[in-house]
């Protein structure tokens, strides 16, 4: 039988407790046409170097856990195949713009804090009790926000966003897309609460419309579009803030 095809993976290694900075380590991995980059990492972990650290869970581009930089592009490691990088070598690194906890594992804390500020949950537009029954919604009403609801929090869009890299205070693509998901839901009444995030300096106006966030999204969420949809309303509120007596931009809303 012929020898199996092989490819070299250059993997970023970093142990903060002992390394002064990230370094690269090379591994040669046998592969078949069906093997994903994630399976290549798993082969390394199982057969070559058990100390290699990375996140993964579903292996089906659903959980968003295995995001990393593959040859400089933000990708889900389970979503791309080793055959597409042959003959190699292929470089695998932690997602850009995030602190590294170890090897390919990043610290999500900043994103989680931003996600909390956008109130990414339904705030009922009217009080209801179980006795009122289910809150029915038409297919069209669901279609208005459905694409934005597909976000899996993989953070590829943050790694792709140069503005987030330069200005970490920027709320960022995924958080603003999820904000729009709930603003477009006709059952939700939290619009005024979320305006504070939209209109802030680190809100939608922090986006410079590069659009790379939408290109790399594995679920077709299009966060750049979500951000753009909020700029007109934000601009209108800015102008009204100057025209209304006693109201200045930046003042808290009731």
Both 116 and 219 in a single domain? yes
Instruction: Residue 188: give the domain boundaries.
Output: 109-243
What pLDDT shows up at residue 238?
Answer: 83
- Quickly count: other Cβ atoms within 10 Å of residue 1's Cβ: 3
Mean pLDDT over 236-248 rounds to 72
Is residue 195 one of the residues assigned to a domain? Answer: yes
Both 179 and 81 in a single domain? no
Both 17 and 88 in a single domain? yes
Both 39 and 68 in a single domain? yes
Both 121 and 186 in a single domain? yes
Both 147 and 234 in a single domain? yes
Q: What is the CATH number of the domain that holds 41?
A: 3.10.20.30
What pLDDT shows up at residue 109?
Answer: 97
Both 122 and 228 in a single domain? yes
Which of 57, 83, 106 is the C-terminal boundary of a domain?
Answer: 106
Under DSSP, the state recorded for 65 is: T
Residue 105 sits at φ, ψ, to 5 deg, of -95, 125
Q: How far apart are CA 205 and CA 163, in angstroms?
A: 11
Both 75 and 131 in a single domain? no
Is residue 254 one of the residues assigned to a domain? Answer: no
Rg (CA), the chain: 22
pLDDT range class, residue 246, cuts 50, 70, 90: low
Both 66 and 157 in a single domain? no
Q: How far apart are CA 13 and CA 22, in angstroms?
A: 6
Q: How far apart are CA 156 and CA 137, in angstroms?
A: 31
Please tell me the total count of domains within the chain: 2
Is residue 124 one of the residues assigned to a domain? Answer: yes
Give the three-class secondary structure for 140. helix
**pLDDT tens-digit map of 50-82:** 999 999 999 999 999 999 999 999 999 999 999
Is residue 253 one of the residues assigned to a domain? Answer: no
Which of 58, 88, 106 is the C-terminal boundary of a domain?
Answer: 106
Given a cut of 80, whether residue 140 has pLDDT beyond it is yes
What pLDDT shows up at residue 242?
Answer: 74
**pLDDT tens-digit map of 117-132:** 999 999 998 888 889 8
Mean pLDDT value across the chain: 93
Q: What is the CATH number of the domain that holds 165?
A: 1.10.1060.10
Both 21 and 85 in a single domain? yes
Task: Pick the range with the lowest mean pLDDT from 120-124, 184-188, 218-222, 244-248.
Answer: 244-248
Both 232 and 136 in a single domain? yes
Both 217 and 177 in a single domain? yes
Is residue 69 one of the residues assigned to a domain? Answer: yes
Which of 74, 106, 138 is the C-terminal boundary of a domain?
Answer: 106
Is residue 162 one of the residues assigned to a domain? Answer: yes
Given a cut of 80, whether residue 1 has pLDDT beyond it is no
Q: What angle do CA 55, 59, 62 make, to 5 degrees?
A: 95
């Amino acid at each position: 039988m012929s020898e199996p095809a092989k490819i070299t993976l250059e993997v970023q290694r970093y142990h903060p407790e002992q390394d002064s900075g990230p370094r690269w380590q090379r591994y040669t991995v046998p592969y078949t046409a069906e093997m994903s980059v994630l399976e290549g990492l798993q082969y390394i972990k199982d057969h070559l170097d058990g100390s290699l650290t990375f996140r993964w869970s579903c292996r089906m581009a659903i959980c968003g856990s295995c995001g990393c930089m593959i040859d400089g592009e933000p990708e889900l490691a389970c979503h791309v195949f080793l055959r597409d990088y042959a003959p190699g070598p292929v470089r695998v690194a932690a997602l850009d713009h995030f602190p590294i906890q170890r090897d390919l594992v990043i610290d999500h804390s900043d994103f989680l804090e931003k996600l909390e500020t956008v109130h990414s949950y339904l705030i009922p537009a009217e009080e209801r009790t179980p006795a009122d029954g289910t809150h029915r919604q038409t297919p069209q009403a669901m279609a208005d926000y459905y694409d934005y609801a597909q976000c899996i929090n993989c953070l590829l869009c943050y790694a792709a966003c140069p503005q987030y890299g330069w200005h970490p205070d920027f709320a960022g693509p995924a958080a603003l897309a999820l904000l729009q998901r709930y603003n477009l839901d006709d059952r939700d009444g939290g619009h005024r609460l979320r305006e504070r995030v939209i209109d802030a300096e680190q809100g939608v106006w922090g986006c410079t419309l590069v659009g790379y966030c939408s290109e790399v999204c594995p679920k077709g969420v299009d966060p750049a579009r979500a951000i753009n949809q909020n700029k007109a309303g934000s601009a209108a509120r800015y102008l009204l803030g100057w025209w209304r007596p006693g109201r200045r931009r930046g003042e808290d809303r009731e």
